[in-house]
Structure 1
Amino acid sequence: MSKLDANERWKSKMLLTDHVEQYERKEEEKTTGSKMLTNDEREMIRDLILLPHIDTMVGKSLKEIEHSGNVLKRAYLMAGQAIQRRIMRDTYQLQKELKQRNIKFFADEQDEFISYHKIFCRGYQERFGLTRDVMRTEISLRLTKYTAELGEALRNILNNVIKK
């Protein structure tokens, strides 16, 4: 409901048909969504592009830890596997959300410094590029976030055990 609908004075005014159509189009866009990508959707696509890279990095680290003679090897492996499960869960949720929004993307080409993807969004096509520096930064931030979440979960578990 708009401000004009609630205002009784506007009901008696005459509107040009162009204005009525424009008003109805705006209302329709609000309910169905626009056809162009939103910033949230771009972030979702970016994350979905980065998550397989993060999973690969964590997997390589886990293989290195398996072959090491570290005393805390088992704890590191469990932490890495928990992070990998979280990555898989996030990947699945993002894929599901993008599918519901009718958004698909494919790797297009890769230059030395930029990775391009084609995005098909509700009938429109767009090209999305990520530089290596941005990818490294975002991967680092995401890994830090996963590690912090795991640390917080462990802290909560330990606090509950100590209280008992």
Structure 2
Amino acid sequence: MSQLNATTLTGMPSIEELEMMRDYIMFPHLITMVQKSIDDISYKQITLKNVLLRCQEYIMQAISADFRGTKQEMRRRGIKVVEEEANDGILYFRYFCRGYEERFGIVREALRTEIISKLTSYTNNLGQQLKSNKG
């Protein structure tokens, strides 16, 4: 029996589903960070302001699309994540996965590192798009 079939029967999430939950937790933080940056740049008088704003809006659209896709896939798989509390630099969540329930914590610093990595990935993707579209 494959891992996916075994996890589907038991309700326990697969590694892919755990990563999906992590991303689901990260996306709102990413959106907030990019929106804050857009707001900050909007009020400043800087060279290439419109270029910077368009790049950040492109990144925001990509993040939002991925967040929607993640939420839809989690719903399809019967997975729900609920934030519970924050204690001593640890964010606690409870997840429900096909009848299986578990609690887990994410260290704020680890989440911050994951967010930076994910944001770097979106920025690199934008860079690749710009390179491939040059005339």
TM range (shorter): over 0.9
Equivalent-residue separation in structure 2 for 1:124 and 1:44 (angstroms): 16
Match of residue 33 from structure 2: 57
**Correspondent of 1:128 among 86, 91, 104:** 104
* Larger RCO, structures 1/2 (Cα 8 Å, 6+ apart): 2
Which stretches of structure 1, 4 residues or longer, exceed 2 Å deviation after superposition?
29-34
Unaligned runs of 5+ in 1: 1-25
Distance apart, 1:31 and its partner CA:
7.8
Query: What are the superposed Cα offsets for residues 42-68 of structure 1, whole Å, 9 maximum, x if unpaired?
Result: 110001101100110011111111111
Q: TM-score, normalised by structure 2?
A: 0.93
> Contact 2:89–2:108 at 8 Å: present in 1 too?
yes
Structure of larger gyration radius? 1
Count of residue correspondences: 133
Q: Is 1:147 aligned to 2:123, yes or no?
A: yes
Q: Match of 1:150, as an amino acid?
A: L
- Does the alignment pair 1:91 with 2:67? yes
The aligned amino acid for 2:103 is: R
Does residue 30 in structure 1 map to residue 10 in structure 2?
no
Deviations, residues 77-115 of structure 1 (Å, cap 9, x unaligned):
000000000011000110011111101111111113110
The one of 84, 92, 111 aligned to 1:108: 84
* Equivalent residue for 1:67, pick from 43, 52, 58: 43
Post-superposition shift, 1:129?
Answer: 1.2
Which ranges in structure 2 are unaligned for 5 or more consecutive residues? none
RMSD: 1.6
TM-score by length of 1: 0.77
Task: Return the offset for 1:154.
Answer: 0.6
